Amino acid sequence: MPKTGEQLALGIIGAGIMGERLIDAIHGESNSPVRIAALWDPASAALARVGAAFPAVPQVPDADAVVAASACVYVASPPASHLGYARAALAAGRSTFCEKPLAIDLAEARAFVAAAGGAGAVNFPFASSPGVAAIERWIAAGGVGVPRRLSIAVAFARWPRPWQADAAAWLDARAEGGFTREVVSHFLFLARRLLGPLSGLHGSVQFPEAGRSERAIDVTLTAGGIPVTLTGRVGGVAEDDHNTWTLEGDAGAVRLRDWAIAERRGPDGRFEPAPDAMPNARLRPIALRRQLEGVVRMARGEPHHLATFAEALDVQEAVEGILAL
């Protein structure tokens, strides 16, 4: 466990887009509370790409070497491998920061969470988002009043998104991939955290292409007893990635648009952004650095704001329930 004032030695398993983004967030901050102790990926091309961009990041020969070099292990590999690496880290006395979902098998995820306790967290960046913080302030100030309904809508020109092309083999497979696991899970986490437990799933999911991930979902559920409508589509839109999370109440409405932009509905019925709203490309590194601050607190055994294993499991239960409709 790192002492107060010490940099946290973070090891990274997985040199894909998420691992690279976290590295960039660490290197983009002076006096970071985190240092990268080791990086490994089974794909030499991925390591070469990250090594060219960040030559100072130490690369090691295998996952065991990452665990040995680190106080905390960030698991950023494809979903099927998450629990194997997380278990190895926890068994060695390391804390763990894991990408979602925890696993592709719900029974395995339940067993892991029951055994792991509070020794880790899951990377849902909405836990650290300035846009979400603005939504929370508006709700606390009475801008929504009594919540009446939540609507979540996601849409993609194609799946996987263009920047995920290197990971298409698993991102577009039914076993591990699909936009419900990859994207909708974030908005369900936000619903769970702000409104309450998820339950009462009904609806439909479409898998029109054999072996490939879903292309449409139409779902209703509740979050803390509040009715939720959830829709998702691949195709029919020009944007690579468009989404809205809209909470309406008896006193007003607020929404998060395109991952980052907090908006509230004015008297004329139009949604207006917060004065300090910024697009996701600018907001993402800020949220990731706040996530890293939470990782440091979590690794020290201090209270933190990150998504717990238990929260992540609840989200996964809902996600897999949707995909089984």
> What average pLDDT does range 80-89 have in this prediction?
96
For the stretch 151-171, pLDDT in tens is 999 999 999 999 998 899 999
Q: Is the pLDDT of residue 1 over 70?
A: no
Task: Determine the Cα–Cα distance for residues 143 and 46; give it in Å rounded to an integer.
Answer: 46
CATH number at residue 32: 3.40.50.720
Residue 136 has pLDDT above 60, yes or no: yes
The answer to whether 13 and 41 have CB atoms below 8 angstroms apart is: yes
Statement to judge: residues 59 and 83 lie in one domain: yes
| pLDDT at residue 6, as a whole number | 85
Please give the model's pTM, rounded to 2 decimal places: 0.95
* pLDDT grade for 276, boundaries at 50, 70 and 90: very high
Kindly state whether residues 19 and 108 are assigned to the same domain: yes
Q: What is the enclosing helix (H) or strand (E) of 314?
A: helix 309-323
How is the beta sheet containing 8-13 ordered, strand by strand? 34-40, 8-13, 72-75, 95-98, 120-122, 307-308
Confidence of residue 109 (pLDDT cuts 50, 70, 90): very high
242-249 vs 226-234, strand pairing mode: unpaired
> What's the pLDDT at 29?
82
Is residue 221 situated within a structural domain?
yes
Asked if residue 102 lies in contact with residue 312, where contact means CB atoms within 8 angstroms, the answer is: yes
Same domain, 12 and 154: no
> d(Cα 45, Cα 199) in Å, to the nearest integer?
42
Rounded (5°) CA angle 134-136-137: 65
Do 119 and 214 lie in one domain? The reply is no
In a domain, 238, yes or no: yes
Residue 268 covered by a domain: yes
Q: How far apart are CA 63 and CA 234, in angstroms?
A: 35
Do 163 and 211 reside in the same domain of the chain? yes
Would residue 195 count as lying in a domain?
yes
165/254 same-domain check: yes
- pLDDT at position 166: 87
How is residue 124 written in tokens? 């849902």
Give the model's pLDDT for residue 28. Answer: 79
CA distance 19 to 39: 9
Question: Domain containing 219: what range?
Answer: 127-279+314-323
**Tokens describing residue 181:** 């696991």
pLDDT bracket for residue 119 (50, 70, 90): confident
Percentages (nearest 5) of helix, strand, coil residues in the chain? 40, 25, 35
Same domain, 140 and 110: no
| Residue 30 confidence (pLDDT) | 80
> What does DSSP say about strands 261-265 and 271-273: parallel, antiparallel, or unpaired?
antiparallel
119 and 131 inside one domain: no
Those residues with Cβ within 8 angstroms of residue 48's Cβ, 6 or more apart along the chain or in another chain: none
pLDDT at 9: 98
- 81 in a domain, yes or no? yes
Report pLDDT for 4: 61
Instruction: State the average pLDDT over residues 240-245.
Output: 97
**Is position 3 within any domain?**
no
* Average pLDDT of the segment spanning 216-242: 97
Question: What is the reported pLDDT for 5?
Answer: 66
Q: Contact, 10 vs 72, CB < 8 A?
A: yes
Residue 109: inside a domain: yes
Q: Is the per-residue pLDDT at 20 higher than 80?
A: yes
* Residues 237, 163 share a domain: yes
Residue 1 forms part of a structural domain: no
pLDDT digits (tens, 9 = 90+) for 21-74: 999 999 878 889 999 999 999 999 999 999 999 999 999 999 999 999 999 999
Q: Give the span between the Cα atoms of 182 and 306, in whole angstroms.
A: 18
Long-range contacts of 199-202 (CB under 8 A, 24+ apart): 201/318, 201/321, 201/322, 201/325, 202/325
- Write the CATH number for 168: 3.30.360.10
Confidence of residue 181 (pLDDT cuts 50, 70, 90): very high
229 and 184, same domain (yes or no)? yes
Q: What is the mean pLDDT of the chain?
A: 95
User: In a 10 Å sphere around its CB, with 0-12 CB exposed, 13-18 middle and 19+ buried, how is residue 225 labelled?
Assistant: exposed
Q: How many separate domains does the chain show? A: 2
Contact criterion met (CB below 8 Å) for 287 and 104: no
Q: Is the pLDDT of residue 3 over 80?
A: no
Looking at the fold, whether 64 and 166 belong to one and the same domain comes out as no
Of 146, 318, 154, the closest CA to residue 237 belongs to 154
Is the same domain home to 132 and 113?
Answer: no
